[in-house]
Amino acid sequence: MSLAGRNALITGAATGIGRATALLFAQAGARVIVNHLRKPSLAQAVVDEIVGKGGQAVSLEADVSQAGDTQRLCTLATAAFGSIDMLVNNAGILQEKPFLDTTEDDWDRMIATDLKSVFLMCRAVLPCMVGQGSGIVINIASDLGILGRAQYAPYCAAKAGVIGLTRSLALEFAPTIRVNAIAPGPVNTTMVSLQSMSAESIKKELDIPLHRFADPEEIAATALFLASDHARFFCGQVLSPNGGSVMP
């Protein structure tokens, strides 16, 4: 699944799924823009690992929930490698909180980071892809955007929105640009930490057929497939490496 000669912009790529995706895309031959927010050393470590293995990568800081930052990120990424052939909207946050305790600020922060950022990044990058006549967009959603979960209302709403946005963009920009989503189950990252979750949520996360969390590399492998020519007939799809949490 070669990505040689292509340029990938991955948001939230300093850690977790984004980091694993950046490393795997680089291994497949892509030049990678490692986006981060206030994690310069971690992002640079990803760049150094890619470069150390003979690849090409740059680190660019931007708050992808802000329109000005997304436009600047697109401009800098294009200047770095000449084009953006693949966009992976991965940046996100998670909060467990009873709905009646959830504040308007909680809601706004979650929607801005997990949903609005996808809108803003697509709005910034898609004109470039349309102009070059090709492109691939991969949006990271969640199985909770399909299932829902008590005490995760803003997160579930945001990720369900990502799925709806993915389908809408897929219809609007096909056949020039392929837009798909990934809805992972629980993944072993700093964001989904057993130490920060309630006992009830931990039980729900582990009570799936495979009885474990995914490694970030397993989700990255799904992204690599969608970015490759092997997935050229996938349009508006939601792939779910979830350990059996959702069986549509």
Report whether pLDDT(195) > 60: no
Among the ranges given (39-48, 94-103, 181-190, 236-245), the one the predictor scored with the smallest mean pLDDT: 181-190
3-state secondary structure of 34: strand
Report whether pLDDT(197) > 70: no
- Checking DSSP bridges between strand 31-36 and strand 238-239, what pairing results, if any? unpaired
Beta strands per DSSP E along 114-237: 135-140, 177-182
Report whether pLDDT(205) > 80: no
Peptide bond into 175 cis (omega under 30): yes
Catalytic residues: 155
pLDDT band for position 176 (50/70/90)?
Answer: very high
Joined together, the tokens standing for residue 220 give 């990255």
Joined together, the tokens standing for residue 68 give 């000005």
Rounded-to-integer distance, Cα 221 and Cα 233, Å:
18
Rounded-to-integer distance, Cα 128 and Cα 135, Å:
9
Mean pLDDT throughout 16-38? Answer: 98
The pLDDT of residue 194 is 52
Structural domains in the chain, CATH included, are: 7-236 (3.40.50.720)
Give yes or no for a contact between 182 and 219, defined as CB atoms under 8 angstroms apart.
yes
The pLDDT of residue 196 is 59
* Helix (H) or strand (E) run with residue 8 in it: strand 7-10
181-199 burial: b if 16+ Cβ within 10 Å, else e: bbbbbbbebeebeeeebee
Dihedral of the alpha carbons of 193, 32, 127, 169, in degrees to the nearest 10: -40
What's the predicted TM-score (pTM) here?
A: 0.94
Rounded-to-integer distance, Cα 97 and Cα 214, Å:
23
pLDDT band for position 68 (50/70/90)?
Answer: very high
Residues 6+ apart with CB under 8 A from 108: none
Joined together, the tokens standing for residue 16 give 């977790």
Give yes or no for a contact between 180 and 89, defined as CB atoms under 8 angstroms apart.
no
- In order of 90, 162, 188, 236, the CA distances from 172 in angstroms are 21, 15, 34, 10
pLDDT band for position 203 (50/70/90)?
Answer: confident
Report residue 26: phi and psi, to 5°. Answer: -65, -40
16: amino acid identity, one letter: G
Report residue 31: phi and psi, to 5°. Answer: -85, 135
3-state secondary structure of 107: helix
Report whether pLDDT(42) > 90: yes
CB 131: neighbour CB atoms within 10 A?
Answer: 10
Report whether pLDDT(157) > 60: yes
